[in-house]
Structure 1
C-alpha cells in the first residue's frame, strides 16, 4: 500500500479554515490561533464571530473573542458566586463583598461599553442571570 500524503491544516483554503474554526468554542479558537500567523488571521476574521455566548466572568477577561460588525447575537448568562454576592443589598455587604462587586460590575460595564462602541445597531438582547 502506498503511504497517504500528509497535509498540514494551513494548506486548507480560508473558507475551509473558517468552517473548521466555527465548530470550536472561544478558548479552542484562541489556542489554535496562537499556533501560527495564518491561523491567527482566520481567528480575527469578523465572519467567524456572529454569535458570542459567555458562561462566566473569566471568559470576558480572556482575549479569546473578537467584537466585530458580524456579531448578530450576544448573550451573557451566568450565575456565579460573585453574581450571587452582588445581588445582596449594599448595606448588608462586607468590605470584601463590596470589592468583589465593584470589580464584577466594572468588568461587565467595560465590556458592554466596548460592544456598544463597536457594534452600533446591535439589536439582540443581553441576558442576565437566569
Structure 2
C-alpha cells in the first residue's frame, strides 16, 4: 500500500505529526499530498522561532489558525532595544528589516485569520501599536 492510498483524514493525521519543513517536503512529492498540505484544517497552530521562518512558504495562513507564536531571541534582536540614536547604520538596517517583516506578516494574519484566539510575540520589539490595534479589530476572538 502506498501512502497516497490512505484517505484524507489519515493523511491529515499523519501530516499533523510533522514540522512545517517536513510537511512542505512531503507535499512536494505529489499533487495529492500537496492538496493535503494546503488543507486549512492542518494549520490551527503556527510557531516561528526565527525571522527566516516568516519568509518560508512552508505554512498556510487561514481562518483555521487559532494560535500563533512568534518567539525568537538572538543577539540581533537585542539590538532592537537600543535607542535609535545609539545604533550604527548596520544596526538600524537590521531593525528596519525586523519591523517590516513582522508587521507585514501580522497584516497578512489580520487579512486571513479572523478566528485567531491567541498570539504570543516575544523578541518582536518593532511591532507597532497600529498593527496590534488592527489585529484586535480583525480577530474578534483574540483573547490571549
TM-score > 0.5, shorter chain as reference = yes
Could you say which residue in structure 2 is the equivalent of 1:31? 25
Secondary structure in 2 aligned to 1:125? strand
2:107 corresponds to 1:110: no
Q: CA RMSD in A?
A: 1.4
Give unpaired runs (5+ residues) of structure 1.
1-6
Could you say which residue in structure 2 is the equivalent of 1:52? 46
Say which one has the larger Rg: 1
Could you say which residue in structure 1 is the equivalent of 2:118? 124
- The 8 Å contact of residues 4 and 32 in structure 2, kept in 1 or not, is answered as yes
Secondary structure in 1 aligned to 2:68? strand
Report the Cα offset of residue 120 of structure 1: 2.2
Secondary structure in 1 aligned to 2:121? coil
Give unpaired runs (5+ residues) of structure 2.
125-144
- The 8 Å contact of residues 82 and 104 in structure 1, kept in 2 or not, is answered as no
Report the Cα offset of residue 117 of structure 1: 1.1
Structure 1: which 4+ aligned runs deviate by more than 3 Å?
Answer: none
Matched positions, count: 124
- The 8 Å contact of residues 44 and 64 in structure 2, kept in 1 or not, is answered as yes
Q: CA 1:121–1:45 in 2, change beyond 3 Å: closer, same or farther?
A: closer
CA distance in 1, matches of 2:61, 2:75: 27
